[in-house]
Structure 1
Amino acid sequence: VAVPFDALTMKRGKTLNAREACIDVEDRGHFSTHVYSNAAGRRRYRLYVPAGSHGEQLPLIVMLHGCTQNADDFAAGTQMNVLAERHRFLVAYPEQPQQANPSKCWNWFKPDDQHCERGEPSLIAGITGQIIAAHNVDPMRVYVAGLSAGGAMAAIMIDAYPELYAAAGVHSGLPARCAHDLPSALAAMKGGKRCAEAGSGLLPKKPLIVFHGDSDATVHMRNAAQLVRGFDAQPDDGREQRPADAGRRACTVSRLVSANGIDAELWTVHGAPHAWAGGNARGSYTDPTGPDASAEMLRFFPEHPQRR
């Protein structure tokens, strides 16, 4: 019997703290490099498998880095390998090569990279499927998350492959298909018209947890609001104000539910820049003073396995 995420399913407010995990776990688990290819191209990815798994059925989180980053940088900043070792899950980091984008951004703004069975989504889904087959992953507990361009691609993945991913985490990202070329991408990042139109009239397909800094000068906060546009506030605990405390930024947490019963959370981090909240300074684009986005995603994901 699989016991995914160990003790990660906990009450709201009782979250793990990645910054407390100061040990280097990567010499205990296995952090390896792999390659996946299909008609759309070839991508390298890194995979962390916790020590002693021996075929145990575990969850998988697919982490999509932001521009200029790579797998090792993103792993260091989010501390997901530390949490994976402690709480028993696999974590994969697909990498975008410079040949595909000069800044190593996922091409979330290109029509050929926005749909099922095409372009980069097919490569990321293929990587996911390859890991599921090779490592006896629990198919009911497969998740995707990302930062910035990776967050935008995570939104595309959960929309294009709802049968593959149970839930998504989008940090400082944008809605699926809110742009069709580089000029429209830059406009969407500024919170322009295409951002405002994204997702209009569509019911959400999967649970979503969104983080965004309201001082983000790279991707406007309006994009976070559009990501959860199809959700309404829950009547009992729709909004929670968390004051600044113990060196952490204040934030507003909105808990939402769609008309078709899908949950979402929106974390607005006050004064935060374009960076992973609560991240480790060993990685780029991290804000160690923010709420712990990694821990909160790991609380949210186990609450939302794939619906049968």
Structure 2
Amino acid sequence: MSLSAAPPAGAASLTRIADFGNNPTGLQMHLYVPNGAKAHPAILLALHGCQGSGPYLYSSTDFAGLADRYGFVVIYPSTNPGGSCWDVSSDQALTRGGGSDPVGLMSMITYVERHYGGNPDAVYVTGESSGGMMTNVMLADYPDVFKAGAAFMGVPYHCFYTGTVRGWNGPCAGGQVSLSGQQWGDLVRRAYPGYTGPRPRVQLWHGTADPILNHRDLGEEAKQWSNVLGVDRTPPTSDTPAADWNRTRYTDRSGTTQVETYSIAGAGHQLPVQGTPMAAYAVHFMGLDRSR
């Protein structure tokens, strides 16, 4: 598979949406609708890292250019207060409908479905750093909403738990929290008790030289989601699709990749790197590049 980086975004621009529904933490919402958006476009929720913002993620990654190419829309939320990390550490955030940031993020998705014709059967999520952590949280809290997600430089769902809003979990950041796949999977299943429906496919990225969130967290994420998706007992396959990219795939019995990890040799806390095919690989995994 040959995937090139996206061209610069065209004439469409980022739009601020002030009132989008239930928003307990006062998040901000920006939306990118490409000029060539489909009539009922897929929706990508794209989440910034600590010290970032939605407009910063828009300008510093290739997702908007890919939206131009493939006709999906991108929601770029911003935390409140500005530049803060996402809440991935409180009981509210780690429970479906429990409150905090995830509830506001869900309101943004519902708004796009209602006001822009967004396709509720084609909703996806990605993010970097704290946004990668929140990607895992959203997939755990709302497995019935998302079809797939791609987390860059994240940690497993619930790994960052402190019981406080936007707490910092040093052992998790340092890659010192290790559980079995079953234990990690049980935590995900607890986010939405009683749910037995399909679960979103998951792609995970991490640099081996990340000084902020340890590369060991990639292995813990892989254990978690391969257990949740029932492929933890399936021997994975590995390859090198690009220089310094080590990819591992866990497939189900039909041969569909359910969990895919990318370990980027020598990379620090900088993924996805703009101008490389990283964002395009994420878009491809999620299925956002299907023919118009």
Q: Amino acid of the residue matched to residue 113 of structure 2?
A: I
Q: Amino acid of the residue matched to residue 302 of structure 1?
A: G
* In the alignment, structure 1 residue 149 sits paired with structure 2 residue 137: no
Q: Which runs of 5+ in 2 are unaligned?
A: 189-198
Q: Matches of 2:70 and 2:257 in 1, distance apart? A: 26
Q: Matches of 1:183 and 1:192 in 2, distance apart? A: 17
1:85/1:304 Cα in 2 relative to 1: closer, same or farther (>3 Å)? closer
Partner of 2:195: none
What is the TM-score with the length of structure 2 in the denominator? 0.82
* In the alignment, structure 1 residue 135 sits paired with structure 2 residue 120: no
Partner of 2:170: 186
Q: Matches of 2:173 and 2:181 in 1, distance apart? A: 12
* In the alignment, structure 1 residue 276 sits paired with structure 2 residue 259: no
Counterpart of 2:183 (choices 191, 200, 204) is 200
User: Could you tell me the percent identity over the aligned residues?
Assistant: 20
* In the alignment, structure 1 residue 14 sits paired with structure 2 residue 29: no
1:243/1:70 Cα in 2 relative to 1: closer, same or farther (>3 Å)? closer
1:186/1:37 Cα in 2 relative to 1: closer, same or farther (>3 Å)? farther
The Cα RMSD (Å) is 2.7
Counterpart of 2:139 (choices 145, 158, 168) is 158
Contact kept, 8 Å, 2:90 with 2:167, in 1: the verdict is no
1:71/1:198 Cα in 2 relative to 1: closer, same or farther (>3 Å)? farther
- Cα deviation for residue 258 of structure 1 reads 5.7
Counterpart of 2:207 (choices 209, 213, 223) is 213
- Residue 131 of structure 1 aligns to a residue whose secondary structure is helix
Partner of 2:65: 82
Q: Matches of 1:39 and 1:303 in 2, distance apart? A: 27
Contact kept, 8 Å, 2:124 with 2:286, in 1: the verdict is yes
1:156/1:143 Cα in 2 relative to 1: closer, same or farther (>3 Å)? same
Partner of 2:91: 111
* In the alignment, structure 1 residue 253 sits paired with structure 2 residue 238: no
Q: Amino acid of the residue matched to residue 112 of structure 1?
A: Q
- 1:218-257 alignment runs, 5 A limit: 218-229=212-223, 230=227, 231-232=231-232, 238-242=237-241, 244=243, 250-257=244-251
Contact kept, 8 Å, 2:201 with 2:259, in 1: the verdict is yes
Contact kept, 8 Å, 1:168 with 1:209, in 2: the verdict is yes
Contact kept, 8 Å, 1:142 with 1:165, in 2: the verdict is yes
- Cα deviation for residue 196 of structure 1 reads 3.4
- Cα deviation for residue 242 of structure 1 reads 4.3
Contact kept, 8 Å, 1:45 with 1:94, in 2: the verdict is yes
Q: Matches of 1:130 and 1:273 in 2, distance apart? A: 36
1:50/1:123 Cα in 2 relative to 1: closer, same or farther (>3 Å)? same
- Residue 196 of structure 1 aligns to a residue whose secondary structure is coil
Partner of 2:282: 297
- Residue 211 of structure 1 aligns to a residue whose secondary structure is strand
- Cα deviation for residue 197 of structure 1 reads 5.6
1:196/1:219 Cα in 2 relative to 1: closer, same or farther (>3 Å)? farther
- Post-superposition Cα deviations, 1:242-296, rounded to whole Å, max 9, x if no partner, equal 463xxxxx1100011368977111000000001123325xxxxxxxxxx522100
Q: Amino acid of the residue matched to residue 89 of structure 2?
A: F
1:156/1:206 Cα in 2 relative to 1: closer, same or farther (>3 Å)? same
- Residue 185 of structure 2 aligns to a residue whose secondary structure is coil
What is the TM-score with the length of structure 1 in the denominator? 0.78
Q: Matches of 1:243 and 1:166 in 2, distance apart? A: 26
Question: Relative to structure 2, which stretch is displaced further, 208-217 or 254-263?
Answer: 254-263
* In the alignment, structure 1 residue 176 sits paired with structure 2 residue 157: yes
Alignment size in residue pairs? 267
Q: Matches of 1:175 and 1:38 in 2, distance apart? A: 27
Contact kept, 8 Å, 1:176 with 1:198, in 2: the verdict is no
